[in-house]
Chains A and B, each alone.
Chain A
Amino acid sequence: MMPHDHHDHLSPSGHPYRKDNDEPLTYWQCMEIAMRELLIEKGVTTATEIASQIDTMDARSPANGAAVVARAWVDPAFKARLLENASRASREMGFDIGTLRLIALENTEDIHNVVVCTLCSCYPRNLLGLPPDWYKTRAYRSRVVKEPRKVLAEFGLELPAETTVRVHDSTADMRYIVIPVRPDGTENMTEEELAELVSRDSMIGTGIAKLPS
């Protein structure tokens, strides 16, 4: 027996092989293709328009949200506008967020906010890009509303008993961004340097801002 006979589900690098997607298209994949082809055929949209929209979606990243948070950290008047109307404040910074209705939630020493969509996977994609896979799992969606502290601890975030946890379920038309607490020792950093400390998870509320290195 060759040694690899026992491990033929692993690549030579020791990682499992990813299964090829040889299965037939699902019903909804067929529907999507049919709908797309019809829309193009009838001149409602074009293949170029679709490709450019995909590019636009792919270009959105948590860096946009991080820039908004960093601005809020350095500019109290901007932070006030952000808390008043986060959509307008994001547009003010030049981000094209479409029709996104955004609410900013400020973390403080006493309050920690965390965001979920229990019904599906609502997420401020126009500002933060695509959501992480775990955000869409049944485990995260069902558990974070019931035992948020346990879930946050699994993300490495142990909150003191004195902190109030506020969970926000995106059940309808609003989307949410958390403004994490600005870390100590960042007084002399520029807005651009500060934005580097703002992780995606810190804007969902499953993490906090990184410490300056």
Chain B
Amino acid sequence: MAERVRVKHMMPPGHVRAPAYLRGKTGFVERKLGAFGNPEQLAYGLPAEKIPLVRVRFSMAEVWGSDTEYPNDTLDAEIFAHWLEYPETHDAP
């Protein structure tokens, strides 16, 4: 059973690499990539803490709603762990 995750719906200022179009969207863990320097610190030349990076797979229906071309096509993106939360409900497919 794939692990479900949701990208946090937050809009902090500064350099972040969680794309706005995926914020608040739920997907599942496609693979875990290991820990990488936090780009939100690296971008400013600050010492960066290593944060787990996860490939998350979303359905096009989840990202764009029902008027998408093909709802079952998918979109994968790398999201840092501090941007992920773990939804308790299991209502989505």
Is there an interface contact between B78 and A171, defined as CB atoms closer than 8 Å?
yes
Query: What is the number of residues of chain B that contact chain A, defined by CB distance less than 8 Å?
Result: 24
Given contacts A149-B70, A172-B39, A173-B33, contact A119 B76 (CB under 8 A): no
Find A167's partner among B39, B53, B74 (CB 8 Å cutoff): B74
Given contacts A150-B69, A171-B79, contact A166 B74 (CB under 8 A): yes
Report how far A189 CA is from B69 CA in the complex, Å: 38
The contact string, 1 if C-beta is below 8 Å from chain B, for chain A 142-158, is 00011111100000000
A149 partner residues in chain B, CB cutoff 8 A: 69-70, 73
List CB contacts (< 8 Å) of B1-52 with chain A: 17-19, 21, 33, 36, 39
Q: How far is the CB of B68 from the nearest CB of chain A, in Å?
A: 8
Given contacts A148-B69, A172-B36, A172-B80, contact A119 B74 (CB under 8 A): no
Decide yes or no whether A107 CB sits under 8 A from chain B: no
Find A146's partner among B64, B74, B78 (CB 8 Å cutoff): B64
Find B19's partner among A168, A169, A174 (CB 8 Å cutoff): A169
Q: How far is the CB of B19 from the nearest CB of chain A, in Å?
A: 5
Query: What is the number of residues of chain A that contact chain B, defined by CB distance less than 8 Å?
Result: 21
Is there an interface contact between B64 and A174, defined as CB atoms closer than 8 Å?
no
Find B76's partner among A161, A169, A173 (CB 8 Å cutoff): A169
A171 partner residues in chain B, CB cutoff 8 A: 17-19, 77-79
B17 partner residues in chain A, CB cutoff 8 A: 119, 171-172
Decide yes or no whether A164 CB sits under 8 A from chain B: yes
Q: How far is the CB of B8 from the nearest CB of chain A, in Å?
A: 14
Report how far A172 CA is from B64 CA in the complex, Å: 22
Is there an interface contact between A119 and B19, defined as CB atoms closer than 8 Å?
yes
Decide yes or no whether A100 CB sits under 8 A from chain B: no
A147 partner residues in chain B, CB cutoff 8 A: 69
Decide yes or no whether A165 CB sits under 8 A from chain B: yes
Contact surface of A with B, Cβ cutoff 8 Å: 101, 118-119, 145-150, 161, 164-174
Contact surface of B with A, Cβ cutoff 8 Å: 17-19, 21, 33, 36, 39, 53, 55, 57, 63-64, 68-70, 72-80
